[in-house]
């Protein structure tokens, strides 16, 4: 048995089902770090709020003073260099928050059986070697496009900023095509958990 839990980086294209997979890992006892939760906390930081307000205007701030992420996303993609600005602002802070989270989890006694960090742009940011293993959840384009459309988001604009699904899968230690049911995804996560949580890869 390993003395320190394996830390998996979970990634995949927009609409692939990363969040559902992360929840399935959590149900099995893995300690999970949601990228969305980290970003939500960062957008409550007055320094971040002020920076995005100055760059994109007061319209990105909701009436309660928080960042309106939907409006910010649209404006950042429409503005020249807008997404790069957000990446430069957020990514170093996200990375530091993730490193601190991993250190805290590994210091626990007993430590969790498995650590899973959701990192949407894992490959794009060159973070593949930061984890013991990389797990990719993918899906066919038609399925991903439909899921993203249901959320009212622009699939093409967001997908254009990411590696292709084929390229992600080639770089993964584990991958799954999430075109089926949530139960099927959950069953696959159970298999991955079994391979990595106790004895490491086998």
Distance CA 26, CA 112 (A): 11
Predicted local distance difference test score (pLDDT) of residue 157: 83
Instruction: Return the CATH number at 14.
Output: 3.40.50.300
In a domain, 201, yes or no: no
In a domain, 1, yes or no: no
Taking the CA of residue 136 as centre, how many other CA atoms within 13 Å lie in the half-sphere pointing to its CB? 22
Distance CA 84, CA 76 (A): 9
For the stretch 85-138, pLDDT in tens is 999 999 999 999 999 999 999 999 998 999 999 999 999 999 999 999 999 999
H-assigned helices in 11-135: 18-27, 35-42, 46-56, 69-78, 82-107
Residue 64 vs residue 100, higher pLDDT:
100
In a domain, 179, yes or no: yes
**Residues in the chain, how many?**
202
Domain count for the chain, please give it.
1
For the stretch 14-31, pLDDT in tens is 999 999 999 999 999 999
In a domain, 74, yes or no: yes
Task: Please state the rounded mean pLDDT for residues 68-83.
Answer: 91
Structure tokens at 137: 């959840």
Choose among 38, 70, 78: nearest CA to 152.
70
């Amino acid at each position: 048995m390993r003395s320190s839990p394996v830390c998996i980086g979970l990634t995949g294209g927009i609409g692939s089902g990363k969040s559902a997979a992360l929840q399935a890992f959590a149900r099995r006892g893995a300690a999970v770090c949601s990228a969305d939760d980290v970003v939500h906390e960062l957008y409550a930081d007055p320094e971040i709020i002020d920076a995005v307000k100055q760059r994109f205007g007061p319209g990105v701030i909701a009436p309660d003073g928080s960042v309106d992420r939907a409006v910010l996303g649209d404006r950042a993609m429409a503005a020249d260099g807008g997404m790069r600005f957000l990446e430069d602002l957020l990514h170093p802070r996200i990375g530091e928050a993730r490193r601190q989270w991993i250190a805290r989890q590994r210091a626990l006694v007993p430590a969790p059986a498995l650590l899973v960090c959701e990192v949407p742009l894992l490959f794009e940011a060159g973070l593949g070697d930061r984890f013991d293993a990389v797990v990719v959840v993918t899906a066919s384009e038609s399925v991903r496009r439909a899921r993203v459309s249901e959320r009212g988001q622009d699939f093409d604009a967001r997908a254009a900023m990411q590696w292709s699904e084929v390229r992600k899968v080639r770089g993964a230690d584990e991958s799954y095509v999430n075109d089926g049911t949530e139960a099927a995804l959950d069953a696959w996560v159970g298999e991955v958990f079994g391979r990595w949580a106790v004895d490491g890869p086998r």
